[in-house]
Amino acid sequence: MKSIILMGYMCAGKTLVGKTLGLALGRTFYDLDWYVEERFHRKVSQIFAEDGETAFRDLERRMLHEVAEFEDIVLSCGGGTPCFFDNIDYMNACGETVYLKASPDTLLKHIAMSRGERPLLKGKSPEELRTFITTQLQEREPYYLKARHVVNIDVLDDSAKISAIANQIRTLLHL
């Protein structure tokens, strides 16, 4: 059975939904950022800061190719993963790709709830953050929309909502 690859903007809920989906399907869940961090013993934010985004994107691509070869997994990719190199085409060839589509307002709410450090968002005021997210989402969405499936999400602020999205994906993929 093909793997399931979740994509979408940062803080869309890919990890939360991916963990829930993996558990429901009895599949191993991988978060690509976590995989990079485990393999290289450095945080993504550290790689960005010390090596730059170009070096990170190359590393991310190599790790995507490594993890996507695993069978029957649920994989959550970083927000930029589909937008560089031939990653989106590779992802579509390797599995069932699902774009978790969220509005800028939903993303802002998720970012406010998030505990993780986001290198691209660091030091931005709320208004700068809204402008940045809106602009970057417009740039990235053409890549995200190449996913085989699109699931619209609202604020994922409780486990029932997260489970509902995971179930929606299961139904969409006939699993």
pLDDT tens digits for 66-113?
999 899 999 999 999 999 999 999 999 999 999 999 999 999 999 888
Mention every residue, 6+ apart, whose C-beta is less than 8 A from residue 127: none
Q: Assess whether pLDDT exceeds 70 at residue 14.
A: yes
Flag whether the pTM goes above 0.85. Answer: yes
pLDDT, mean of residues 133-138: 95
What Rg, from alpha-carbon coordinates, does the chain have? Answer: 15
**How does residue 21 score in pLDDT terms, banded at 50, 70 and 90?**
very high
pLDDT at 111 (0 to 100): 85
Q: Assess whether pLDDT exceeds 70 at residue 115.
A: no
pLDDT tens digits for 40-69?
999 998 998 999 999 999 999 999 999 998
**How does residue 123 score in pLDDT terms, banded at 50, 70 and 90?**
confident
Is the distance from CB of 94 to CB of 139 less than 8 angstroms? no
Mention every residue, 6+ apart, whose C-beta is less than 8 A from residue 157: 109, 113
pLDDT, mean of residues 122-132: 85
Taken in order of first residue, the domains within the chain and their CATH numbers are 3-172 (3.40.50.300)
Distance, in Å, from the CA atom of 90 to the CA atom of 102, rounded to the nearest integer, reads 23
